[in-house]
Amino acid sequence: MRGGARYFRLIEEIASNAVYSLHLQTYIFDEDETGIAVANALKAAARRGVLVYVLLDGYASQKLSAAFINDLKGAGVYFRFFEPFFRGSSYYFGRRLHHKVVVADGYYGLVGGVNISNRYNDLDGQPAWLDWAMAVEGEVAQRLDKICVRMWNRGVFAPRCLAGTIPPMSPPSETCRVRVARNDWVFRRTEITNSYRMLFSVAQKEITIMTSYFWPPQGILRRMVIAARSGKRVRVVLTGHADVPFVKFAERYLYSTLLKNNVEVYEYQRNVLHGKLAIADRKWITVGSYNLNTISAFASVELNLEVDDEMVAARLHDAVETIILADCRRITSESFVASTGVISRALYYLSFRIIQLLFALFTFYFSQKKKGS
């Protein structure tokens, strides 16, 4: 599903129907209309006796007021921040909790790239940023529940959350092959990165990638170029209206490499694009929090769902195709050269190099060697 009002209605529905346990883990949780509505649903669940656990990134959600947090705790919600290795009020070094997941009773799950904030919601006169999420039921939600429990229990002073017994429930009416894929470089988890590495060699005809912040590891960029030059159709859908212009400049430094190697580049025009997904041959998809960049690959804690099912993949492909045709502008070699002068090219180059430098500085304590990146 796309983000927006439907996504937040589903969070409230999951919370209202929870009986035993409810986990919410996300990067950004803002104290605005959307955040208050979600918080009210969490508090209502806790007051019914549901064990509610909320884990938020200690940097991105640090603006939450003490009153807001105490109100959650007062209603019985277990709350804590995911603390990165080094954090200050102004600077943040390295690892962060970037995944977005909701899971109730070990049976109902919701995974995507949508944060809890007004800009991801459909409000009067303010359409949501383009984003994606996937709702699941059944066995895969048990896996999500165990992941949430383990993430919560890494807090030194947090009250222990025990993996409860999953209550018996009827099997879903429809089934498909779903894999939970994670990335957490510090703990040597690179499942999503590995999927992207394989994607360009395994796909036979077509690969479509949508991502919000694009500066892929060199190994993945090389595989992308090889796939496009071998005759596979490779499309990259990026934002045309960036929430961080500096990052957009860095992205555009890579456009020349992509375009001269037959990679199709599109910029979404309607609003900010924040979604993260990939589709291969209308048969396989990955959706979640993972951006195709070095931060997701080598720093952040990320979570995606990978689905091997032609019906699901075809539906998502058709939805993305509609967005490309209606709301995107294709960037060609001719249009890019015509719109880019010497100053712009210098700005793109400097932005890209600065991002590389900042990433190296902010993750300086990572001692792993980037094998096969």
3-class DSSP state for residue 323?
A: helix
Tokens representing 222?
């090389």
Signed CA dihedral, 291, 292, 296, 302: sign only:
positive
- 172 CB-contact burial (10 Å; exposed 0-12 / middle 13-18 / buried 19+): middle
250 alpha-carbon distance from chain centroid: 20
Q: How many residues does the chain have?
A: 373
For residue 265, which amino acid is it? V
Query: What is the rounded CA–CA span in Å between residue 272 and residue 157?
Result: 38
CA distance 119 to 33: 10
Q: How many helices (H) and strands (E) does the chain have?
A: 12, 17
Task: Measure Cα distances from 76 to 33, 69, 79, 109, 144 in Å.
Answer: 21, 11, 9, 22, 22
With b for 16 or more beta-carbon neighbours within 10 A and e for fewer, the 148-157 pattern comes to bbebbeeeee
Residues catalogued as catalytic: 98, 100, 105, 274, 276, 281
